[in-house]
A and B are shown apart, each in its own frame.
Chain A
Amino acid sequence: MQNYVEAKIGEFSEKLIYQQAVLTKLDESGAHPVLVRRLSDVCHESELLLNRARRTLALNLPQLFRRLQIDLSLVRAKLELLEEFYLPALLHEGAKELAVSRVIDRLLDQLRAPQMADKAVSFSRALSVYPGVPEHPVFFMLGYTHSCLLEWTGIYHEIGHTVYNQFPEIHAKLSNAVLLYCQNQLQQTPALSTSQLNSRAERLRKVVRYWNLYRLAELFCDIFGTVVAGPAHLLSWVDLSVISQSDPYQVDLVDEHPPDAARTHVCMLALDDVYANSPLKRVVSDLWETYLSRRPQSALFNQMCPFPLLLSLVQTARAEIARNNFPTFRTSLPSPPESLAYDNTGDLQMVVNVAAVNLMFAPAEYSAWQQRIARKMFSS
């Protein structure tokens, strides 16, 4: 084991030297000064761990090898954070990425969300945000995102993650809502035997545990996206769920995502009342209802995602969104032919909502309209 630990220290030290050299070059180029400094801090943390491991190994105390192995796994994670996510994004940043980055800045401004001191954009993965260095995330999207307007609706969910991480009280309030719901259930006293009462308590404990920090984050981001981006977000989410053809009621106890049916339910509940009878809401609801038909709810879904709990979470999240002064999207939407004449690219929420209307109600003209808008949006 000693030889192995020594070999890994050497290997990781070489990788660290490479990363430090790349960061020095990036620093000299003047691009992303804040982010590069933070990434250099991450390298420094690895350096400290490796130096200590080297000195500890020299003491030749076998009882410490397991500690050193764990330190090495921490170093590996830091190396991968840079190598898999940040450095490729920074090294391949071009004009298109910078144009998208400017649109994200405008969008954050429109949402009154805190601006990020520094961030990166990369077209190398599906739409997602990687906050490995929390205040400086990488926004990933596929190459066609910047010309497919509806792809942009997912960005509101991703921005929800940065909001959730910046305001820890949101998690505290949502978590309390879960606890309150379960405590109320526990206080109800039907005629049950002691063992039945015990198993009910254990079931409710599992519900509290299921709705952990990370699943509440996903649910909050669905609600956030729908509140700030309106029916376009709802359509985008339902589309994502339907096209995947996965079981909407499946509760995966390992996956951080709640079941699709629970997420759609909260999006429907979070949509502003102004859209209750809108053609777009009706068409999305019909699509979802058709998708759900003949798919039985599982017992585990009913246990983990009961309607009163989801409703309480939506109410709590909406209250937090309003308290933090994020704007609710409630603009009335034009219909074709007026919607096909829409060309104000300064308001991304409106652009994606008009895109949703045009896609669903004027599909033949959609492509030409989308090309015109995308060209204008990224030329400025």
Chain B
Amino acid sequence: MRALAALAAKTANDEEFLGKINDALLQLQLEAAGKSAEIGYKPEDLEASRNILRDFLEVLSRVISDAQRGELSAAQTQVELAAEDVLARLDDQGKPREDWLEDINRTIEQLKTDAPIKSCDWALLEQLIDFLDAEFAQDLVAIAKS
């Protein structure tokens, strides 16, 4: 009765979500560099990528707000599970939750427009993906040890 089954399920979930978010950010970074068409991305792909990132940030914002207000909520979906993992890592950074919320809500607004993404928003998105990547790396280590 090793943990392999649960670990494999978690790894598969985390892998799929990290892949989706990383893919979306890559497309927008290619767009910002004026190279998205060279890799074959169409405007509708880029629009979908903005939506994927915005949806994730909106769920993350709700999860952080709930935690701030002391409200209880159980993560059910893949994106909610990822948001809970990210929240745990945000709390370890020492920066107050309200500051994270401010940054996240600003980036959500930015993603609602077609305007070029600002450097502070890139930095936030990159950092959040690094948290997801760290969670995935931890899964792989746990599987290797199981």
- Report which A residues bind B (CB closer than 8 A): 52, 55-56, 59, 61, 63-64, 66-67, 70-71, 73-74, 77, 80, 125-132, 134, 137, 140, 154, 157-158, 161-162, 165, 171-172, 175-176, 178-179, 182-183, 186, 197-198, 201-202, 204-205, 208-209, 212-215, 217-218, 221, 237, 240, 255-257
Across the interface, name the chain B residue whose C-beta is closest to A158: B5
List A contacts of B7 (CB < 8 A): 214, 256
10 tightest A-B contacts by CB? A201-B70, A161-B5, A128-B4, A128-B2, A67-B26, A175-B74, A214-B6, A256-B6, A179-B74, A70-B22
Known interface pairs A70-B129, A212-B81. Does A176 touch B72 (Cβ–Cβ under 8 Å)? Answer: no
A-B residue pair count with CB separations less than 8 angstroms = 140
How many interface residues does chain B have, given as a range? 35 or more
Contact with A along B22-52 (1 / 0, CB 8 A): 1001100110010100110000000000000
* Smallest CB separation, A61 vs chain B (Å): 5
Complex Cα distance A197/B15, Å? Answer: 38
Question: What are 7 A-B contacts defined by CB distance under 8 Å?
Answer: A61-B35, A126-B2, A128-B2, A132-B8, A134-B12, A212-B81, A218-B3
Complex Cα distance A295/B10, Å? Answer: 32
B3→A257 contact, CB < 8 A: yes
Complex Cα distance A318/B6, Å? Answer: 20
List A contacts of B146 (CB < 8 A): 128
B39→A127 contact, CB < 8 A: no
List B contacts of A175 (CB < 8 A): 74-76
A interface, over-half SS: helix
* Smallest CB separation, B108 vs chain A (Å): 21
Across the interface, name the chain B residue whose C-beta is closest to A53: B26
Complex Cα distance A299/B37, Å? Answer: 58
Tell me the chain B residues, 46-85 only, with Cβ under 8 Å from chain A: 67, 70, 72-76, 81, 84
- Is B121's beta carbon under 8 Å from chain A? no
- Residue in A157, A205, A218 whose beta carbon sits within 8 Å of that of B67 in the complex: A205
B1→A240 contact, CB < 8 A: yes
Complex Cα distance A74/B13, Å? Answer: 12
A208→B73 contact, CB < 8 A: yes
B5→A74 contact, CB < 8 A: no
* Smallest CB separation, A87 vs chain B (Å): 16
- Report which B residues bind A (CB closer than 8 A): 1-13, 15, 18-19, 22, 25-26, 29-30, 33, 35, 38-39, 67, 70, 72-76, 81, 84, 88, 126, 129, 133, 136-137, 140, 142, 146
Complex Cα distance A215/B75, Å? Answer: 13
A209→B9 contact, CB < 8 A: no
List 12 additional A-B contacts (Cβ < 8 Å) besides A131-B5, A205-B72, A209-B75.
A127-B1, A131-B12, A132-B8, A134-B9, A158-B5, A175-B75, A186-B70, A221-B1, A237-B1, A240-B1, A255-B3, A257-B6
* Smallest CB separation, A268 vs chain B (Å): 17
Complex Cα distance A179/B76, Å? Answer: 11
Complex Cα distance A129/B35, Å? Answer: 44
- Residue in A52, A56, A208, A256 whose beta carbon sits within 8 Å of that of B74 in the complex: A208
List A contacts of B38 (CB < 8 A): 55, 59
Complex Cα distance A13/B85, Å? Answer: 32
A217→B73 contact, CB < 8 A: no
Known interface pairs A56-B30, A59-B33, A126-B2. Does A172 touch B76 (Cβ–Cβ under 8 Å)? Answer: yes
* Smallest CB separation, A140 vs chain B (Å): 7
Complex Cα distance A129/B2, Å? Answer: 8
